[in-house]
Structure formats: C-alpha cells, structure tokens
Structure 1
Amino acid sequence: MTSIVIGSWTFRAAGREEAWMEAKVPGCVHTDLLRNGNIEDPFYGTNEHRLQWIDKQDWEYAAEFDAAAEQLDDDFVQLVFEGLDTYADVTLNGSRLLSADNMFRIWKAEVKGLLKESGNKLHIRFRSPVNEDLPKLERLGYALPATNDQSELGGLGDKRISVFARKAPYHYGWDWGPRFVTSGIWRPVRLESWSGVRISDLFIRQDAVSAEAAEVTAVVTVEAAASGPSTMVVTVEGREHRLEAELETGVQTLELPIRIEQPRLWWSRGLGEASLTEFQARVDKQDGAADSRTVRTGLRSVRLVRDRDEAGTSFYFELNGVAVFAKGANHIPNDSFVSEVTEDRYRHEILSAAEANMNMLRIWGGGIYEQDIFYDLCDEHGIMVWQDFMFACSMYPGDEAFLDNVRAEAEDNVRRLRNHPSIVLWCGNNEIDSAWAHYDENGGWGWKKDYTPEQRESIWADYEAIFHKLLPDAVERLSPGIGYWPSSPLISLTEDAGQHAYPESAAGDVHYWGVWHAVEPFENYKLKIGRFISEYGFQSFPEYRSVRSFAEEADMELLSTVMLAHQKNGAGNRLIKEYMDMYLPEPKDFPAFLYESQILQAEAMKMAIEAHRRRRPYCMGTLYWQMNDCWPVASWAGMDYFGRWKAMHYYAKRSFRDVLLSADRTGTGIDLHLVNDLQASLQGTLKVSLLDFSGLTLAEREVPAAAAGGQSRLLLSLAGEELLPESAASDSVLVTAELVAEDGSLLAAASAFLEGDRQLALAPASIHVEEIEGSGGSRFRVSASRLARAVWLQSDREGIFSDNFFDLVPGRPVTVAFKALKPGAVRYEAADAGRVTASSMGDAVKALAAKG
C-alpha cells in the first residue's frame, strides 16, 4: 500500500472573492485566521466575545497535489479524511466526492477514476454549523436540554443547537471553557492506494489471559482485488502462526487463534510493568500480492466487577485478577483548538499523571475521542482509561439519520482504539441519566418539567435507543470483553427510581458536587462516599504569570471584566472567595489570592482523595475533576493551560502514593490511617511527634504498624488531650507521623495541624534555598527559620519539582529536584532550574505578621 499526506492548503471565507490565505492542516479556521493576522488572540482578554461571527460563515479549503506514479497504476485509490469538522462538501477535480456531517468519523472516497498525474484540485466547503443546525431545531418544534451550550454568548439567544451536531460538545462552551464553534480539517488527509491485497485492520482479541497463558485471536480484515489461495502469517515474539485461506474478491475477515505461554502481562502503574507485545500479520497470495500490518497491545484480563455484597453492590476494576483502586482525574481536551496539541503537550500530561501516582484517566464525554498518541502514552505508562462516548449533559435527537450517524461514529472509534490495553471501560455518556432522572419525578436537574408527558416519553425513548442499545451493541461486537457502562453516574439499569445515582449510592459510580455547587463544607467529603467517585472537584485560579497571559495588571481584580470572562462558572469567583473566608486567612493582595486559591483547592482535594482511599474496599475509585485546561482560566484543573502544576497536582502526588499514611483531623483529635495499594503486605513502626512552630519537639510516641496488600487500616487515634501539653497552644503546633520499615527506610509520612489554617498563628518565615553542589542547578536543599506553611518553590524555567507546596519545619530541611521535559523525551530529566524562589502562606496573608 502507498500512502501520501495531502500537504499545502489554502483557505478563505466562502462566497466571497477574497484572496486565498495559507492554511495549516491539521487545523481549523480560527487558528488559520490567527496565523494570518486576521483576528487577535482568541484567549486574550474578552476577545472570545468578539469572534462569534466566525461560526456563522461558510469557509472553503483547497489543495493542489500530484499523485505518485505507482498510485495511478494501483487497482484501488482512496482519499481518506481522518477528521472533518463538521459539515463538509468535498470535491476532487470538480467532481463531488462526499458530504460529511460528523467530526468524529473517518470519511473515505474512491478516486481512481478522477485522479490525474499532476495538478489534482481538492476542495472542501465547510458549512456553518450554526446555519446548518438552526433549521433542525425549528423542525423538531421544541428545544432539547443542553445546559452548557452558551448560545447567548454566540448571539443565538436561547437556541441551543449543539445537540444536533456530532461535534465536540465543549466547542459550544462549558463551565470551564470558551465558545469557539470551529470548522476545519482537524486530522490528516491521505491519498492511499493498493493492488492485489490489503490488510485494512488487525485486531488482537484477548479471549482468556492469565499469568500461565494468553489465549488470543488475531482478527484480520483483508481486502482482495481477486479471489485465490493465500497464506496468512501472524508473528509474535519471534514465533510464526500460519493460516491457509481461500480469499474471495472484496472484504473478508480471517481469524487465527494464538496461545502465548507465560505472557508478559500489562499492569497499571503501581502494580507491575506495563508490558507491550507486538503482533505482525502478513497475507501472501499465490499470485504474488502481499501486505502486512503491525499492532502493539498489552496482554491483560480486565473486568468491571459489580457483585452484591453486605453494603450494596461493588464497583471496581479487576486487572489480571487483582482488584485495583483507581486513582486519577477526568481529562478534557488540552486546547479549544485540538490540532494545536502537540505530541509533547500530550506527553507532558500523561507523564504528569504518572508522576502524580495516578493509574487512571477518564476521557470525559464532552470533548473528543483522543488522538492515537494519547492512548499510546497511556499504554506505555500503565494509565488505565475510562472512555466516554462523546455525549454530555444534554438530551439528543433520535431520528433515523442521527442514529445511523452515531452508529458509524461508534464503530469507527471502537475499531480504531480497541487494541489499546489502557482502555478498560466504554461509558455511554456524562451525567445524562442523573440529569433527566426519568423514573424520579422530583429528581434530576429540572429538565423534565418543560415537556409534555408525550414529549418526555419520546425524548427518553431516543435516549435509550442510543445509550442502552446502539452503543453497547457496538462495544460488544467490536471490542468483546471490555465493559460498557450506560451513563456516569449510575446505580444500575433497574428502570425505576433506583437507577439514578446520588452522592451516597451504595452501588454504581457517583459524582459528588455538594462541595462547590451546594456550598457544603469540605468535611462532607468524609461523609458522602460512594463505591467509585468518578467526579468531584473544587476550583482555583492559575498562577500569576499564567493569568498575565490573558490579563493586564489593571485587570487583577476578582470582579474585573476580564477576570469574569475567564471564569465560566457563573458563581465561581464568589464561591472561591466564600470558601476562602471559611478556611484560609485573608490574602494581602490579588497575587496572594491566586496562590491561596490553589492551597484552598489542594486542601479540599486532599481531604476528598484520602477519605475515599481510607474507605477501601468499600470505595475503589477516586477521579477528581479535572486534570487539565483547554485555555487559561479559573477552573477545577490541577494543572493549567500551560501545563504548570497547581498546588493540587503536587498534593495529589502525595495523596495518591501507593503507600499512604493519612492523618485525618477529627473533632477531638487526629486519626492516623495506613493505606496499602501494593499487593505485598507492609510492616514497620509508626513514629508520631508533636512539634511547635519553632521546630521544638513537645512529645513523641511509637507503635507497631502493619497492613496487608490492598488494605486500609486505622493505626492510631490520638485524642486532643493526649496531643497537647498545657504549655502549648493548639494554633501553634504540628503533628508529624512517619512509617519506618524494619531496615530504617521511610515508607510513608504525613502531618496535620490541630486547628484549621484560618486559626493558625502563621507569620512570614525566612526560607533558605541552597543549590546542592554538583547537581547542575537541578537539586536544592530547602530550610526555614520557623514553620513555613505550603512552601511554594518557583523557577524562572518551565518544569516540575519533585515536591512543592509542602510544609517546612525548622530543623527538618527538605531536598527537592527540578526536572523538565525536553522535546521528544520519554521522561522528565534533571534540568537546571535557573533562579529558584520560595514563599509560604505566612508571606501571603494579611495582618498576621505580628502573630507567633
């Protein structure tokens, strides 16, 4: 097979006699306009509001290309469009090829009869998504719920049309993202040709996998130009497996069972190596035609375990027979303009997940089915993927054309992704079952009240057609053995009120948003715990230099026009301030507010993560909202648009450690828990110290400690009167705990205050950062004159520290390393941090300098 990528493209507004401008493909009209100087930075200030005209205009793209001589001689020649966004009419040399209507599908057209040796003219007209879908709303006669569709910002009033387009839902706006309804060629366009025979797909179906043997089937889709005898050979780990077959003209599927003795298994991060195995299939016809294809997968058994137990019904993933506690976050697209996400940006995200001890990412249903590189990296780093289909927070039409489109979309994407061992679950949608709550008249988000009984039944029937029939059928047919979950969150498909999830559900998965949306206290994270918490979160701002990327110094105020434009959750800034007044001391200025917002978020997520982990095995998963951002904004993300780790990501790294010592401040004291996610048991000595803020040890205690593999245990409960000598004040002491192995090595550590941050006697501390000789500027020893709360190390170079936003006790210096991701590198490497500065909460707070 011969394949070339169609390169040089130009574009312009359709229907106008304007000059053609240079276009970048993959790309979109917004980024092409920006590169040509026709618009200003969409992310800066309030520019988003001034760019809403773009989606109401048709756009045209054109390319001229030559065909390779051998392609003209081949039997079959196709143009393959891996991603057209979204409504596109395609012609070649003046002849119509196809009309596309789904961003997520792969579109193909036979072009042998149209192709010339040179000067082929390819033209694509992208019809306005707004103008295309407004008539569909009119024809339906009533609006479908689409809570996050920012139609008002787009100049459409209450006409929410996102549900009619098979296009990334977040393009229409979300409560963390802007409204940029794009058009363009977002994945490559290729000219492919072949003669004789072609392998168009190779799927390694994993029938039964264990440590003793892997029983797999190579499922090979073969296209033959003519019938005749052939030999198929599948090679794995140096061994050939053969099948003699009589090919028919056209498309057929060949299956070859293979047994691999004592396979190298694929494990998620923390449980073992993420071993990958390569399979090569080759088909040779007796007439001399031949083709081959290679895929890489990981051999593993995986299932979603939902068994009845004394508490309700379990919900966890079992990998190679081991129950896995899922630790991670929800992933959204890394950019509003997805073609701007480079491989290095993907690499930074997945390595950031691995560095933070995560073993799962949930690809949320309002974005895109991710690029191949995303899943490749998850495969390599042992990051399991919970994969949503691209439906979120809306009800959808169910006419025949829409269902056929969705069916083709599902088949394209399940087929494309099914060899990735990282994908452990397909989920139908995000939050729709609980939002509509069909079987609970008073449940859900209030959507049902706007419809007649007949309309309700029709809307729900359309929902069931997609999520209870069409999508699970596609998964079962094309990726057998991988679980399907209809909606997140959900208890079970009971067809009664017991179907719809709530925060304390004893079955299914849970999205808990009482903290944040309902302004419940952080402490409720310790009370409202389900079997698997697949969403929860709290907002913060990015750091000052990231905020300055979209705002001027004059905009540095919580209620400024620009700051509100970069806060898509209507009550967001108010809620951050309201919670800050509850939990943290008052910041002295706006940069300090930005910093404290990150500490506030981090403390909330630490409380949630560790509460969930302490409840193992009742709770077996914690995925916070959200991993990343698609533009610079105040949001729930743990790292900002530029990939800079917020305090939360550093906190998560500590709270996600495989061996966790968790210090839980109770109403009367502190409980110390040991959580062991490893398969092997642990034992050692728990050493507990009470220190004052000058570093003086006031009391010490040691007790033996142990935990079996996969166990959470309460090691020690300390009441307030045990902890605090009469001479000490509760606002000026710190409890530290260390779990020390028999050989003296440190297995885990934790600390806790007896009072909340708002009550602590904080003051500025003198923090000393000393470069370690011989480290090339990559390692530092950090010490403090008095307790320094949430020490923030900053470098003038991009990278990450091995630890950050940590508490620093006098006499107990901390050594940190600085690492950076070099272009094309597969891991973070030691790097020169340049100038490093340090500050703490004592430096940020207002009117506390005299305390302590």
Structure 2
Amino acid sequence: MLEATALGDGWILRHESDTLPASVPGCVHTDLLAAGVIPDPFLGQGESEVAWVGRRDWTYERELTGSSASSAQEQTDLVFDGLDTVAEISLDGRPLGTVRNMHRSYRFDVTGLSGLLSVRFVSAYAEAEAVRGRLGERPAAYAEPYQYVRKMACSFGWDWGPTLVTAGIWRPVRLEHWSTARIARVRPLVTVEEGVGVVELAVDVERTRVEVPLAVEATVGGVRARAEVDGAHGVVRLRVPDAELWWPRGYGEQPLYDVELRLLSKGATLDVWRRRIGFRSVELDRRSDAHGTGFTLVVNGERLFARGVNWIPDDVFPSRITRERYRERLEQAAGAGVDLVRIWGGGLYESEDFYDACDELGLLVWQDFPFACAAYPEEQPLRGEVEAEARENVVRLMPHPSLVLWNGNNENLWGFRDWEWEPRLAGDSWGEGYYLGVLPRVVAELDPTRPYTAGSPWSGSWRHHPNDPAHGTHHSWEVWNREDYADYRLSVPRFVAEFGWQAPPAYATLRRALPGETLAPDSPGMLQHQKADDGNGKLERGLARHFAVPDGDFDRWHYLTQVNQARAVAAGIEHWRSHWPVCAGTVVWQLNDCWPVTSWAAVDGDGREKPLYHELKRLYADRLLTLQEEDGGLVLAAVNQGAEDWTGTMTLRRMSVEGEVLGQAAVELAAGRRAVARVGVPHELTPAGPKEYLVADANPDADGLRALYFPVPDREVLYPTPRFEVALTPGGITVTARTLVRDLLLQADRLDPEARADRGLVTLLPGEEVTIGVRGWKTPDAETARSALYCVEPTR
C-alpha cells in the first residue's frame, strides 16, 4: 500500500549567509514577516518597503534523513504539489530537476537517497526578463513582465492589487513510498443518461514491475465494478440507477457521491483514489437568434440567468488561504444570492478546498485558464508548460460538479483587436494558438462533459468584434472609465461577464491598514492603496454626476462613494435582469479583495461587507422589482427566477419628497417561473422634477419588494432634512423615519471593529421603520449608535 510522509516541518529559508525558520506551505514574504525582517506590506506604505524581496534568489533547505527517506517499499518519490515558481531542486548535492511553473505539481524519484534537500528559487523577475530577452517584447496592460512566466499574474500587481512577487513552496510537499504500481492519474467522466448516473474512470498507473497483473475496483452509490489494467491503463465504468441530480443553489439540492477506486494486485490493495462527485448535465447554448449570438448556461436542462461574481485570489500570499477562509468567503457569496463564481485568469487554479465548498454550496464555477491582459508568447519553454499545466488541472478538477465552464483567457482576444497589440506584434505569437488551439484540444480530449469558450470577452469567432455585446460574453468597462453608470441601461448584452464600480473598503479596514494616518482620499496611505489608473479621479467624476462631492469631509466622502458603488451595480443588474432571456447573466467585478484597498469588491480585504454586498442580496434574489425607462416612459418589470409563478398586485405611488401621495394605482403582474413580466406605468403617475419620485411596492406577501425611481440625480433632488428616531432593540437597533430617509446605512464597524450589520442601504418613507441586526458589538447607547448612521442629505 502506498505510504505518504508529510515534509512540512524542519525547513529553513536561506539568503546568502542568513537563515531563518521557514513554514511549508508558505512563501518568502510570510517567512520574513513572521521573523520580523520586513514590515507588513498591507499596512501603510509597507508594500514599497518590501519590493526588494521579489528581486532576490532564495533557498529552502531541509534534512532528509535516512529514516524519513528509506522504506521497505520499492520506490520513494519526492512530491511537490506546488512550487512558486522557478526553482532548482537537489538532494545531497545531486540535481533532481529544474521547474518553472507555479500551476503544476512535480515528482522526483529519490529511492535510496537522503541528505540535504535544497530548493533554490530564482527571482521570477530574472526568469521572466530572460524569457523576454529570448522571445522578444510582447504588449500587456501593465509594465511588469508577468506574461513570460507561468505564475499567478497578479503577484506582479494589478489595478486592485499590490506588487509582491512571491517565491516559495506554496503547496504541500511529501514523500510517497510504493511498490509494484501506483495510481498516476484518474480521469473521471461523470454523465447522466436517461436518469442513470454514469461514471467512467480512466486510470493511468506507474509500475516498478511490468509483469505483475493489476486490476482496478471502483465503488460509488452502492455500485461496484472491476476491470483489468492493460499495461499502464485501465477503464472501469459504473452505472448508478436513480442517481439524484446535483443542482445550482436555488434550483435544487446538491447531493454528492463518494467515489473510491482501488488499484489491486493479487487481491492486495496497492493504492487508493477517493473523490466526491455529483451527477448533472451542463451545456452552453450559443445559438444565433434575432438578437445575435446567445451565451446561456443550461444545467440539467434548466436555462439559467447566471447571478455571478468574479473571484480573485483571496490573498496575495495564497498559502495563507485556509479551508475555513475559502468557506467563509464562498458562504458570503451564496448569502448574497450568487450562484456562479468566475475564477479570473490573472489568478490561480484554486485548491481543492475552494471547489469542495462550491460543490457543497451549489455555486457554479467558471474557471479561466491563467492568462490575463497580455500577449503571451507561444514558443518554448512556455508552450510545453502551458499544455502540461492544462492537462494536469483539467483532470484534477474534473470530479467537481460545481465546475461548469472552461474559459481560455481574460481579455486577451479583445486586447489583440482593440489595444493596439496587432500592429505592435507584427506577426509574433501572442496566445491565439493557446486559446483556439491547445486549450480547446486538451479540454475536448480530457473533459468532453464541459463546454469551453476561448476567452472573455469573446463573440464566438473573429466574424464579430471580440467584445460585441450582441454576441457571446461582454465586458462593460467604458462606463466606469469614462461615462455615467446610467449608461449601463443603453444596451442589452447577451452575457455581462465583467462590470463594476469602485469604492473604498470599510472604515475599520482602513483604520487597521493605515494606522495613525489622517484619512483623506489623497492621503499617502489611501493613494498607496488605490491601484487603478486615475482611480480617485474616476471616483470623484462618477460621484459628481449624482452628489455634491464633499470638500474635506472624509467620512461623508467614504459613505457617498460606497453608495455610488451600490447604485452603479444596481443600475446594471436591474436593467439586464429585466431583459432575460436576451441577457443570460451578470458577473460583477468583483466579490473579494486580496488586501485592504479601494476597489470594485463587494467584500473588502479584511472580509467586511461593503454596502454593495448587501445590495447584491436584493439584486440577485429570485424575485426583483424594478422601474426602467423605456421609449419615453416608465416600465415596471417583475423578474421571477423562482420555480413558482409570481402573480400579484403592485401598488404604484407618485410621491412628493415631503411625503404627500400625488397619485396612486394598482396594477396586476404575472411572471411565470424563470420569466419576466412587464407593464407600462400610467403617464399620470410618472414623476417629474426635483420634488417627486415613484414608489412601486409588491403585494404584502412578496417580502416587502420595492422599486424606486427618481427622475433627476440626487444632487438635484430637493430632499428634506432627514429626521429619524433610533432605539436599541435586542441584537440591534430600530430606526423610525419622520421624513423621507434615503439610503440609510449603519456603519457598525465604526462603533466596534468586530461589529457587523445584517443589512446595507435602506430607504424609508415617512412613518416607516427598519430594524437593523448587529452582531459582534458591545451594545452602545442610542446616541452612540446614531453616530454611525449615515444617509443622503440635501445639497447645500
């Protein structure tokens, strides 16, 4: 039976003559930080103070004693699940190999060897610059040379992330002792055929003795099957009658089945492979229609509007992300109504812990291959590395039912066409051969059960512009970069895979990250933690279109920029969801952050929810009510993504800002399951000018669903001075409005860094009240609680 010995202990980190204890898994930065050699790069301007780390070479060492290396088994392998990134491995002075890919695992035969195990990491900069020197310059969105090395691209910085170029043994390392044969790879094809779950396990084995007969035996769902191994390969097929289907969250349950495969020789078990699977079918409907070319996910025959978020690595030092942290962040996603998580191409193939959580929570996973925002050379040594990593990770992730889509890259096909890459490349390779050649071939060969798309955005072929909203996936960034978020409503893309708006993190996150700093939008630490090109300028211009920009009042600026982020994303999602099934999904940029930063995230780098997060709960709920401008009038749309019909009476009220009802009507709406119903708002109820607005309320059994429409921007609305009363209640506070109170927000973390409110922005009409639950705080008095309440105020 194969035996494994973990090698996580006993490592040191060496740089020239200096040594210090090392943690494995880990990285140089975290070891230096633990030893007090460097400041925390997340705090203040610490990022700049540790830039030198990524330019140095580092060596990890550990004694591999005879007792740990020796075994009664015939062969001993040294296995690294992940090395970041370019390294030379030796044992007792004997070279074992050289590696240059963070996204792969490595195995070396060390039978009978012992002594000093050394892993010498060369700076990723040195490797990337050497490859660039051999293959020539390629254009990219950023100046750092990330496209020349197979490493997490955002280590080199991004428009939301720090430049912290890591090195280290970032995933576990172990010795494996085995005899006769071991399981080298299992490729599970999981399908559903007329209600029967089918599992086909293609097994590759490595042998020490070729003459010994081998067999494989597998079990799943109470079914057992056996097959002989022919040479180094075997296939065992199992049929599970009445298999329960795995569904995305909100569409059904997520039953998971344990699969066990044993490698046998003369009745004895040599090795065991265990995974969990789920039975479901997935298709991507890309048919042409009157609106262009569709992009609709279909799971178990059910067509979905994907309620998505983009995922970036949750820490710039990925070895720090625990199973519990993955679970917490993904539970936050599920709690916001999300049913799809796109793993963005500037990051990683995540750990099993990520996909396990998605399997359990019913979160669909869209997996980018790790290519982003650059022209990637296709020559060696990169081409071989790309195919090897793709083959390994496609097979590694195949068991997970949550994984529903492989995507070739992020924005590179678009970049070639629109970012002046084509003339600069002058015929040089740039990655097209990966996205339209290598990767679809690998997926088709190894994982034909899942769809593949060449990139995001991508229209499906070069016949259309790569980012044509009428064809395939679309990234909407002109709105954030140059326009008002109201412009989201000017088009109906088939699938919006990226869009978003920036806001600073929670106040307590800023206070922790910038200790002692007098906070201002342009204070030194705030600028260090704002990575977007002209980010503050875009924030201010976007704010000025809707609010009077506060002058010198950081707290007010902080609140209003967070309101503007939530309003911007709401403008897009409400419009696009109301146009289902033409538009079949929105994937917000982004769910999470990898450090404390002003960014597009809904959950900040300390895990605190911004107002956007709570707004997503409303926007991604099964039922959504929205008022939209169309053809010179207003339309009320009832969006129903639930499994039951939604029929009810909607009350429309034309209101004055002082609270007077100027007109009222009741309209009937009937939205079938997974459908949208629309009705025109009577002209006499359409509000006009700075003193009126429209309220649409669903019938009382519809969970208080409401839509609001103001005909002019907030800076023009003649809001009354807000008046409200605050009372402490068990587990929170109750606020009672005496006037119109627009976008009330309790920033509980201002009262206690551990405090979290259970809701975000809420608008109250005169006489209405809301109870806001709070956990993790030491209950203050009502006036102290009131000091953490913010709302929109009249322009002065």
Q: TM-score range by the shorter chain?
A: over 0.9
Residue in structure 2 matching 1:573, options 536, 539, 551: 536
CA distance in 2, matches of 1:470, 1:24: 36
1:745/1:133 Cα in 2 relative to 1: closer, same or farther (>3 Å)? Answer: closer
> What's the CA shift for 1:274?
2.0
Q: Are residue 238 (structure 1) and residue 197 (structure 2) matched?
A: no
Partner of 2:419: 445
1:747/1:422 Cα in 2 relative to 1: closer, same or farther (>3 Å)? Answer: farther
1:467-513 deviation line (CA, Å, top 9, x unaligned): 2111111111221121111111111224x5x25223xx321111111
Q: Are residue 687 (structure 1) and residue 651 (structure 2) matched?
A: yes
Equivalent residue of 2:601, what SS?
coil
CA distance in 2, matches of 1:554, 1:780: 31
Q: Are residue 146 (structure 1) and residue 140 (structure 2) matched?
A: yes
Partners of 1:555 and 1:562 within 8 A in 2: no
Equivalent residue of 1:474, what SS?
helix
Equivalent residue of 1:184, what SS?
coil
Identity %: 34
Equivalent residue of 1:421, what SS?
coil
1:718/1:780 Cα in 2 relative to 1: closer, same or farther (>3 Å)? Answer: farther
Q: Are residue 736 (structure 1) and residue 690 (structure 2) matched?
A: no
CA distance in 2, matches of 1:7, 1:649: 37
Partner of 1:37: 36
CA distance in 2, matches of 1:747, 1:544: 30
> What's the CA shift for 1:382?
1.1
Partner of 1:826: none
Q: What amino acid sits opposite 1:785 in the alignment? A: R
> What's the CA shift for 1:348?
2.0
Partners of 1:87 and 1:129 within 8 A in 2: yes
With structure 2 as the length reference, what TM-score do the two structures score? 0.93
1:601/1:839 Cα in 2 relative to 1: closer, same or farther (>3 Å)? Answer: farther
Q: How does 1:363-442 map to 2 (within 5 A)?
A: 363-437=343-417
Partner of 1:458: 428
Residue in structure 2 matching 1:607, options 546, 565, 571: 571
Partner of 2:7: 6
CA distance in 1, matches of 2:704, 2:243: 31
Q: What amino acid sits opposite 2:769 in the alignment? A: P
CA distance in 2, matches of 1:596, 1:172: 31
1:812/1:257 Cα in 2 relative to 1: closer, same or farther (>3 Å)? Answer: same
With structure 1 as the length reference, what TM-score do the two structures score? 0.87
Partner of 1:155: none
1:789/1:710 Cα in 2 relative to 1: closer, same or farther (>3 Å)? Answer: same
CA distance in 2, matches of 1:839, 1:756: 26
Equivalent residue of 1:549, what SS?
helix
Equivalent residue of 1:476, what SS?
helix
> What's the CA shift for 1:807?
1.1
Partners of 2:664 and 2:685 within 8 A in 1: no
> What's the CA shift for 1:758?
1.5
Partners of 1:2 and 1:71 within 8 A in 2: no
CA distance in 2, matches of 1:224, 1:164: 36
> What's the CA shift for 1:695?
5.1
Partners of 2:745 and 2:760 within 8 A in 1: yes
CA distance in 2, matches of 1:62, 1:834: 51
Residue in structure 2 matching 1:474, options 420, 438, 442: 442
Q: Are residue 500 (structure 1) and residue 466 (structure 2) matched?
A: yes
Unaligned runs of 5+ in 1: 152-160, 438-443, 820-830
CA distance in 2, matches of 1:100, 1:42: 28
Partner of 1:675: 639
Q: How does 1:200-599 map to 2 (within 5 A)?
A: 200-209=184-193, 212-226=195-209, 227-240=211-224, 242-246=225-229, 248=231, 252-286=232-266, 288-437=268-417, 444-451=418-425, 456-460=426-430, 463-494=431-462, 496=463, 498-502=464-468, 505-517=469-481, 519-552=482-515, 554-587=517-550, 589-599=553-563
Q: What amino acid sits opposite 1:617 in the alignment? A: P
CA distance in 1, matches of 2:787, 2:336: 23
Q: What amino acid sits opposite 2:128 in the alignment? A: D
Partner of 1:129: 124
1:745/1:179 Cα in 2 relative to 1: closer, same or farther (>3 Å)? Answer: closer
Partner of 2:734: 781
> What's the CA shift for 1:359?
0.7
Q: Are residue 705 (structure 1) and residue 679 (structure 2) matched?
A: no
Partners of 1:587 and 1:844 within 8 A in 2: no
CA distance in 2, matches of 1:716, 1:833: 49
Q: What amino acid sits opposite 1:755 in the alignment? A: V
CA distance in 2, matches of 1:802, 1:712: 29
1:432-482 deviation line (CA, Å, top 9, x unaligned): 111111xxxxxx11223334xxxx22325xx23222111111111221121
> What's the CA shift for 1:738?
2.6
Q: What amino acid sits opposite 1:177 in the alignment? A: G
Partners of 1:626 and 1:636 within 8 A in 2: yes
Q: How does 1:16-35 map to 2 (within 5 A)?
A: 16-18=16-18, 20-35=19-34
Partner of 1:824: none
Partner of 1:758: 715
CA distance in 1, matches of 2:704, 2:300: 26
Partners of 2:69 and 2:113 within 8 A in 1: no
CA distance in 2, matches of 1:69, 1:432: 47
Partners of 2:62 and 2:118 within 8 A in 1: yes
Q: Are residue 162 (structure 1) and residue 146 (structure 2) matched?
A: yes
> What's the CA shift for 1:740?
2.5
1:366/1:475 Cα in 2 relative to 1: closer, same or farther (>3 Å)? Answer: same
1:763/1:31 Cα in 2 relative to 1: closer, same or farther (>3 Å)? Answer: farther
Quote the RMSD (CA, aligned, Å). Answer: 2.5
Partners of 1:665 and 1:754 within 8 A in 2: no
> What's the CA shift for 1:345?
2.2
CA distance in 2, matches of 1:335, 1:264: 36
Q: Are residue 803 (structure 1) and residue 751 (structure 2) matched?
A: no
Q: Are residue 814 (structure 1) and residue 760 (structure 2) matched?
A: no
Partners of 1:297 and 1:421 within 8 A in 2: yes
CA distance in 2, matches of 1:651, 1:807: 12
1:234-285 deviation line (CA, Å, top 9, x unaligned): 2222232x2241554xxx2322222222221111111111221221222332
Partner of 1:81: 80
How many residues align structurally? 787
Partner of 1:440: none
